[in-house]
Amino acid sequence: MPVSLLDEVREMSKEFFKLPLEEKEKYSSKGDDLEGYGNTNAVQRGSLNWNDKLHLQVYPEEKRQLLCWPENPQHFRTTLHEYSKKNLMILRTLLKAMARSLNLEEERFLELWGDENEDNTHARFNFYPRCPMSDQVVGLKPHGDGTAITMLLQDKEVEGLQVVKDDRWFRVPVIPHALTILVGDQMEIASNGVFKSPTHKAVVNPQYDRMSLAMLFIPSLDKEIGPLEELINEERPQLYKRLKDYGQVYTQSIPSGKRPIDMMKIN
Ligand SMILES: O=C(O)CCC(=O)C(=O)O
Ligand SMILES: [Fe+2]
């Protein structure tokens, strides 16, 4: 991945969010689905998120809703297309490495995800305007991602991502030329709990705006996801149920305030 492409994506994303509201609203959600420009969906993430977002499906390509794809900045669409292609290549390398690390056949996770014609990939641009009372708002509330894998491009200078480990919050440092990989719930399920989907949140800075771009890799809705047989044994029984379309479980469990992945656990 050329470093210049990372910078270009960061730049164009900031440029987009700085446009006048009327201009951005041209790309607002059409109908009642997730896609398009807007504030973080209140039902999905609670009402107090200090976050502006632009949500676009990038794969399968025929599902792109180009009406929501900005034409301002001018190169937005072509750059996002380039960036998505590169991300998918990295995803495939990553999934192979993750399979090898568990002594699985290299293709094992790839069989579930990573097919640009079948699986769903969404780009979620986040923008967190600076906020003088930053300690009283949250950029994005604590959550786990419902994806298989999330590849996050963080702001080059402004830190904001925090992750829970052992019941404590840890700050994730900014590394300008790196992507941050987050394991999503569906990878936790498929790996029978070996890889954990971390609870994370984004905090807001009092002085500086911050952006991030999450590429969300989601299995096709008709693929069944469940713990891989090779990872179930006497010492480690099957810990999660099998299902299709985890997105539904995810949305349904939001009102309960519980983590969606908990609904998938076999007790
Ligand atoms: O802005 C960030 O660093 C986190 C974004 C995030 O968690 C998400 O989009 O799901
Ligand atoms: Fe997230």
Task: Report which bound ligand comes closest to the CA of 51.
Answer: 1
**Ligand 1 close to Cβ of residue 185 (< 6 A):** no
Task: Identify the CATH assignment for 3-264 out of 2.60.40.10, 2.60.120.330, 3.30.200.20, 3.40.50.300.
Answer: 2.60.120.330
Q: Please identify, by atom number, the ligand 1 atom nearest to the C-alpha of residue 139.
A: 1
Mean pLDDT for 14-39 is 88
Neighbours of ion ligand 2 (CB under 5 A): 145
Q: In DSSP terms, which residues pair with 213 in a beta bridge?
A: 125, 153
Q: Please identify, by atom number, the ligand 1 atom nearest to the C-alpha of residue 211.
A: 1
Please state, rounded to an integer, the average pLDDT across all residues of the chain: 92
Q: Is the pTM of this model over 0.80?
A: yes
The predicted structure's pLDDT at residue 45: 46
| Side-by-side strand order, sheet with 120-128 | 36-39, 52-59, 120-128, 210-218, 149-154, 180-183
Closest CA to 214 of 130, 147, 124: 124
Rg of the Cα trace of the chain? 18
State pLDDT tens for residues 194-250: 999 999 999 999 999 999 999 999 999 889 999 999 999 999 999 999 999 999 999
State pLDDT tens for residues 71-86: 999 999 999 999 999 9
Complex confidence, ipTM: 0.99
Confidence of residue 175 (pLDDT cuts 50, 70, 90): very high
User: Which residue has the CA at smallest separation from atom 7 of ligand 1?
Assistant: 201
Of 137, 141, 150, best ligand 1 pocket probe by most atoms within 8 Å of the beta carbon: 150
Closest CA to 186 of 258, 247, 95: 247
- Largest separation between any pair of C-alpha atoms in the chain: 59
CA of 50 to the centre of ligand 1 (A): 12
